[in-house]
Structure formats: structure tokens, C-alpha cells
């Protein structure tokens, strides 16, 4: 009987996953008909309207109260609603990733995207060395990977796939059509795939601003947080350049990508990169970005979960 129920649940899960994937494809199709600007506006309106009704909104406000105790509640609510709008825009823009990035350094007039630090992208591409790029869930965080692909930078994005296999396939399909390499952060062979990118002289990119259960304790926004040390460990092993990249959402459906110069990471007495302190340096850079544009960050997840803190 239990074996029968298990089989039924597996079938039910696959059917629901297929239905969800079909529904998402339908939404993508509708968004493509609307165009990037109107679908972005619709996504912002929907998320800003529905988001505050969800349990995650309480998490966002609790996070904002803890991080900004001096701020008025009205301002915290405004930031939380802005964060929902940014998330809605980013979701709607997935249907347009292929055309969203239009940066052309030779164009006579600026387009939808401007890039600060393109010289660093080009140096990473041409120096023959492996490299590491860290980022955060700010603006439309998918754009740097598209920029790398468009400018011929051999880059692989480390991503956490959705738990549902059908949703995971759909996300991979959307991303792989516009970006360079993609590798899951977990699963069979993930560690070898990630290390192999740097060993062949490629570049790895990862979002480092979410809770990581097995992470090192860092200070983020004045509070202890567990942060994934993977990039710092890889930088220590390969002793390669490390850059940060962020996306700032601008007025008029525009974006600014900013790639930092190589980050000077702390080293230990043997001259090797110190993993814990290097993770803190990268986290502190992300904190500066969030403080500059708090309404463009994902406040609705439980970032601060350090036992005993």
C-alpha cells in the first residue's frame, strides 16, 4: 500500500510539474506579446499588489526593522514594496532576456543598458587567466551573465536549480538560450564541474547574498549571517582575479551594470587568500550595494540565521 502511495505521489508530482511548466510557458508567451517595457510594468504591479499579502512580506519588514531601526515604518514599507516591484519586473523580464541586453560601446546613443567597467570585462576575457565574479540579487541580476556571453567572456554561472524537475528544466532552457555556461551548485558531479571551469582558464560567477547553512559567519548589514565561502576557497586554490558585479535598475526601463576592478582579498601568513576574511570582504561590498539601493534587493528571504545569535 505504501509503495502504491509513493508511486501515486511521484506521478502526481510529475503531472503538477508539467502543468506548472506549461502555465509558465503560457505566461512567457503573453509577456513576449506585451514587449519588455509593458510586461515589466505589469510584473511590478502584480508583485507590488500581491507581495504584501504573502507571509514573505512579514519577513521583509522584520529584516528591515532589524537592519534599519532608525527608519520610519512608512519608509520600511516603501522599501519592501519596491523590492516586490523589482522582483516582479525581473520575473517578467525573463521572457525578454534575449533582447533585454542591448549594450553597444560603438552606438551613437545609449540604449537600454549601460556598462561601467567594460574594460575589466575585456581584460578578464583576454588575459588568459581564470577569474571569479561575485554578485547579488539586485536589479535584474541575470544581465551580467548575458553581458559576458555577448562580449565573448568564457563564463559559467553557478545556480541553484528549483526543486521541481520540470521547473528546473524550464529555468535552464530560458537561461541557456542567452547566457554562457551554467552549472548547478549541487548534485552529482557539481564540485568537479565547478573546479573544472577554473582549471581550463574559464570564469565562474555566483550570487553570494543568500543564507548558506554550511557557510562561514560574516557580518552583513550589521548582523551575523552565514555566507557561502565557495568563491573564496576557489580563489585561494587558484589565486586568480576576483571581481564584483552589480546591476542597478534605472528610470525608464534602463539598467546600469557595474564591474569592479580586481578586489584585493586578505591573505594569511603564508601569503594565501584567507577564506573567512575574503568572504567577509565580498560580503561587505554587497552590503554597500544594498545600502545604496535597498528597494532593489530581496528582503523577503531569511538571510540572517546564525545559531545562537
- Mean pLDDT confidence for 183-192: 66
Q: What is the pLDDT of residue 307?
A: 65
More confident call, 209 vs 178: 209
pLDDT value at 48 more than 70: yes
Nearest to 94 by CA among 150, 182, 172: 172
**pLDDT score at 1:** 46
Burial 147-181 (b: 16+ CB within 10 A, else e): bbbbbebbbbbbbebeebebebebbeebbeebbbb
Q: For the ranges 196-200, 272-276, 299-303, which has the lowest average pLDDT?
A: 196-200
| The three grid cell numbers given for residue 272, joined into one nine-digit string | 594565501
Is pLDDT at 60 greater than 90 in this prediction? yes
Distance in angstroms (rounded) separating the CA atoms of residues 64 and 23: 33
Extract the C-alpha cell encoding 165.
524537475
Q: Could you give the CA distance from residue 155 to residue 160 in angstroms, rounded to a whole number?
A: 16
How many degrees, rounded to 5, is the angle at CA 133 between CA 211 and CA 140?
70
Strands (E), 136-253: 155-159, 181-184, 203-207, 216-220, 223-227, 242-250
pLDDT of res. 46: 92
- What pLDDT is stored for residue 99 in this prediction? 84
Q: What is the pTM of this model?
A: 0.87
Higher pLDDT pick, 99 / 240? 240
**Which tens digit of pLDDT belongs to each residue from 202-241?**
899 999 999 999 999 999 999 999 999 999 999 999 999 9
Pairing of the two strands 181-184 and 113-116: unpaired
With 90 as the cut, is the pLDDT of residue 186 above it?
A: no
Pairing, β 216-220 against β 242-250: unpaired
Q: What angle do CA 173, 177, 182 make, to 5 degrees?
A: 70
Calpha distance 185→76 (Å, rounded): 33
Q: Cα-flanking dihedrals φ and ψ of residue 114, to 5°?
A: -120, 150
Answer whether 252's CB lies under 8 Å from 98's CB.
no
The three-state secondary structure class of 124 is: helix
Segment 3-32, tens digit of pLDDT: 556 665 656 555 555 555 565 566 667 777
Between the two ends of the chain, the Cα-to-Cα distance in Å is 45
CB under 8 Å to 56, separation ≥6 — which residues?
300, 301
Q: How far apart are CA 229 and CA 227, in angstroms?
A: 6
At 223 the pLDDT is: 96
Residues 6+ apart with CB under 8 A from 298: 83, 87, 137, 209
Amino acid at each position: 500500500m505504501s509503495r502504491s502511495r509513493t508511486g501515486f505521489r511521484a506521478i502526481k508530482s510529475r503531472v503538477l510539474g508539467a502543468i506548472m511548466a506549461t502555465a509558465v510557458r503560457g505566461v512567457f508567451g503573453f509577456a513576449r506579446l506585451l514587449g519588455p517595457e509593458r510586461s515589466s510594468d505589469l510584473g511590478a504591479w502584480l508583485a507590488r499588489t500581491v507581495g504584501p499579502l504573502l507571509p514573505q512580506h512579514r519577513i521583509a519588514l522584520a529584516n528591515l526593522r532589524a537592519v534599519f531601526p532608525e527608519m520610519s515604518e512608512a519608509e520600511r514599507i516603501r522599501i519592501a514594496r519596491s523590492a516586490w516591484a523589482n522582483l516582479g519586473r525581473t520575473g517578467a523580464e525573463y521572457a525578454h532576456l534575449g533582447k533585454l541586453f542591448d549594450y553597444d560601446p560603438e552606438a551613437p546613443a545609449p540604449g537600454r543598458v549601460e556598462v561601467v567597467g567594460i574594460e575589466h570585462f575585456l581584460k578578464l576575457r583576454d588575459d588568459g587567466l581564470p577569474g571569479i565574479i561575485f554578485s547579488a540579487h539586485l536589479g535584474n541580476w541575470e544581465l551580467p551573465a548575458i553581458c559576458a556571453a555577448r562580449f565573448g567572456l568564457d563564463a559559467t554561472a553557478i545556480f541553484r536549480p528549483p526543486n521541481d524537475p520540470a521547473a528546473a528544466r524550464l529555468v535552464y532552457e530560458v537561461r541557456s538560450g542567452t547566457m554562457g555556461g551554467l552549472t548547478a551548485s549541487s548534485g552529482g558531479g557539481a564540485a568537479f564541474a565547478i573546479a573544472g571551469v577554473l582549471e581550463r582558464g574559464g570564469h565562474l560567477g555566483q550570487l553570494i547574498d543568500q543564507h548558506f547553512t554550511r557557510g562561514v559567519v560574516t557580518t552583513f548589514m550589521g548582523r551575523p549571517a552565514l555566507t557561502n565561502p565557495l568563491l573564496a576557497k576557489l580563489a585561494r586554490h587558484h589565486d586568480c582575479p576576483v571581481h564584483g558585479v552589480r546591476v542597478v535598475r534605472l528610470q525608464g526601463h534602463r539598467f546600469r551594470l557595474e564591474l569592479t576592478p580586481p578586489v584585493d582579498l586578505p591573505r594569511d601568513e603564508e601569503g594565501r587568500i584567507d577564506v573567512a576574511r575574503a568572504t567577509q570582504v565580498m560580503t561587505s561590498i554587497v552590503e554597500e550595494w544594498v545600502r545604496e539601493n535597498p528597494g532593489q534587493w530581496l528582503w523577503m528571504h531569511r538571510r540572517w540565521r546564525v545559531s545562537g545569535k
